[in-house]
Structure formats: structure tokens, C-alpha cells
Amino acid sequence: MEHIDSENYSPFEVLTENFGQSEIAWDNFSYQISSMPISIQDLVLGISAEEFILGVTQDFDLSEYQTKNLALIIGEVSLGDLFIGDMSATITEKLTLDPQSTQQICAKILNELFAPAIEDIKKIQREKFPDRVGQGSANSMPKPPAPPVNQSNVIDLRQNSNS
């Protein structure tokens, strides 16, 4: 596998790569980031996202192109520029992955990377996509898959014990 430098594919790097010397673009981005909660700033600007992306890249043997797109998707969801409910379809499309790999990556993003900032992400998503997310309801937000249930450990409370 080719070596991928996660620093080049952090959410910050891919979100700002086309800014060049444009003061307006940098000013707009700086304003957008500074108005975000600290948990979102840490997610977009911090090292944890870089390390996470590098881990996913290694786990799923992603190319540079796929790694860059993954960082972009993470950044766009974090800032509310991409609806979190579209993350799975966007990963499948932009990374050209099979549905199982996409689901595993989405679960890792939700459970590991987004976990410290999930409440702030939900708030931003409700503000930016009010027509797609019920106000005050997290029901339309994606949830990590439930662990498998061992049916032999399940008690049916509907059974009448007097029978």
C-alpha cells in the first residue's frame, strides 16, 4: 500500500486546499470555524481527525483519492455543509466502496471520531437542515448499528408465568 500522510488529508487541509492567497476565503473560513463550538473546532483542526483518517485508510486500504474524499466528507458533516444522513451515500459514491465497508466506516466515524462532539454536530445539523431533521428530535440522525443480541439471553416478559 502507498504511504499516506494524514496531515495532507485532515479535514482542515482538504477544506482549505483551494483557498490559495484568497483573503476572503480564509476570512470566511476563519469566521465559520470561530463561530463553531470548541468540540467542532477540535474535530476539524485537531490531530484526532488526522489520526482517525489514517487509521481508516490503513484498515480499509484506501487510496490517496479515497482518503482525501473521506477527510472532506468528515469536514463537511462537522461544519454542517453536508447532511449527516447523507454521509453513508456520499461515502459510497465518492470513495466507490461496497455497502458493508461504507457501513463499517460510518459506524467508526459516529462511534469514535464524532462521539465527543455528537451533541454539537446534531445541533448544527438541526440548524442547517431544519427540513430534514425534526426539531428537538434525534430520531432522524443516524445511529450506530446495535450489537447482535444473543437470543438465549433474552427473557420474554409477555409470557405468563402462571401457565
Q: How far apart are CA 80 and CA 78, in angstroms?
A: 6
CA dihedral defined by 104, 109, 113, 114, rounded to 10 degrees? -140
Short-list 67, 49, 65, CA closest to 57: 67
Which residues, at least 6 apart from 140, have a Cβ–Cβ distance to it below 8 Å? 85, 132, 133, 134
Q: How far apart are CA 3 and CA 58, in angstroms?
A: 9
* 161 found inside a domain: no
* 157 found inside a domain: no
Is it the case that residue 4 has pLDDT exceeding 80?
A: no
Cβ density class 124-145: b for 16+ within 10 Å, e for less? bbbeebeeebeeeeeeebbeee
Name the band, by pLDDT with cuts 50, 70 and 90, for residue 85.
very high
Place of cell 464524532: 114
Domain that holds residue 62: 6-147
Name the band, by pLDDT with cuts 50, 70 and 90, for residue 136.
very low
* 70 found inside a domain: yes
pLDDT on residue 53: 94
Is it the case that residue 154 has pLDDT exceeding 50?
A: yes
| Model pTM score | 0.76
Q: How far apart are CA 97 and CA 102, in angstroms?
A: 6
% of the chain surpassing 70 pLDDT = 77
Q: How far apart are CA 136 and CA 117, in angstroms?
A: 17
* 163 found inside a domain: no
Q: How far apart are CA 52 and CA 62, in angstroms?
A: 13
Is it the case that residue 72 has pLDDT exceeding 70?
A: yes
Total number of domains constituting the chain = 1
Q: How far apart are CA 63 and CA 89, in angstroms?
A: 19
* 159 found inside a domain: no
pLDDT on residue 1: 46
* 26 found inside a domain: yes
Q: How far apart are CA 76 and CA 37, in angstroms?
A: 15
* 153 found inside a domain: no
